[in-house]
Amino acid sequence: MALGVGMVRRGSPQVVRRGSPQVVRRGSPQVVRRGSPQAVRPGSPQAVRHGSPQAVRPGSPQAVRRCSPQAGHEGGRVWKRGRSGVCLGEPMGFRCMGYEPTEEAGVVFLFGMVAQELGYHIEAVRGKFPDCLAKRRVGVGQWEAVRIEFEFESRNFREHGHRVAECDLIVCWHHNWPQCPLEVMELKTIVAEISEGRLFDFRRPPPLPSPLRA
């Protein structure tokens, strides 16, 4: 009798006998359960590795940003960064800026918020070194020109290869360059002093000497 395509002759090597090693019993380790890692096909949505950013469902606890307020406090839990890619600084609540800056752009914005009360008059903000050209009050009716470079950290000035001779002031959020040859304004300290009322506001007229107040 001729065998058709796909027919296996009894007793041939292709026939697996009951109880032979080739027969996989139900519940044995060789049986892949539905949903197990071994059952995931390459390229399928289930093939995402556990703990990877793609495996985080929107709204799940894993989706909380690493720098979110819940994770920012000392001793608090730190979550894995989510899909949004937006990472905020520590909560600050200074005027319209709710969080501390995390990059140079935030430093520029924050300086613009306080420049007038610090006695600075901005002439130009540009995309080349130095970042800002300004005048600052040095006395009654006296102003001096100042060239300002914005950096998130003061030592970035050195890492970016800027020339000290072409700049007068570094405005940064965090000052971490003790040997800096230039004047440095650390906005972290400025914000704290303004919030506590310990910084003189140049927009207000200076107090009169006591003999003239009468």
Percent pLDDT > 90 in the chain is 48
Indicate whether 64 belongs to any domain.
Answer: yes
Helix (H) or strand (E) holding 104: helix 104-114
Does 182 lie in the same domain as 105? Answer: yes
Does 118 lie in the same domain as 160? Answer: yes
**How many structural domains does the chain have?**
2
**Residues contacting residue 154 through CB under 8 Å, at least 6 positions apart:** 170, 172, 174, 175, 176, 177, 180, 184, 186
Token pair recorded at residue 3: 């065998």
- Assess whether pLDDT exceeds 70 at residue 28: no
Can you give the pLDDT at residue 111? 97
Residues facing 94 on adjacent strands: 97
Query: In the predicted model, what is the mean pLDDT of residues 162-178?
Result: 97
Can you give the pLDDT at residue 4? 54
Indicate whether 127 belongs to any domain.
Answer: yes
Does 99 lie in the same domain as 188? Answer: yes
Can you give the pLDDT at residue 177? 97
Indicate whether 83 belongs to any domain.
Answer: yes
Q: Contact, 99 vs 89, CB < 8 A? A: yes
Does 107 lie in the same domain as 131? Answer: yes
Indicate whether 124 belongs to any domain.
Answer: yes
Query: In the predicted model, what is the mean pLDDT of residues 163-190?
Result: 97
Domain containing 66 equals 57-88
- Assess whether pLDDT exceeds 50 at residue 72: no
Indicate whether 146 belongs to any domain.
Answer: yes
Cis omega (within 30 of 0) for bond into 21 = no
Of 134, 138, 190, nearest in space to 167 by CA: 134
Indicate whether 203 belongs to any domain.
Answer: no
pLDDT 10s digits, 94-119: 999 999 999 999 999 999 999 999 99
Q: 132 burial class (0-12, 13-18, 19+ CB within 10 angstroms)?
A: buried
Indicate whether 168 belongs to any domain.
Answer: yes
Can you give the pLDDT at residue 93? 92
Does 97 lie in the same domain as 81? Answer: no
Does 163 lie in the same domain as 131? Answer: yes
Strongest mean pLDDT among 12-16, 82-86, 150-154: 150-154
Does 137 lie in the same domain as 81? Answer: no
Can you give the pLDDT at residue 66? 43
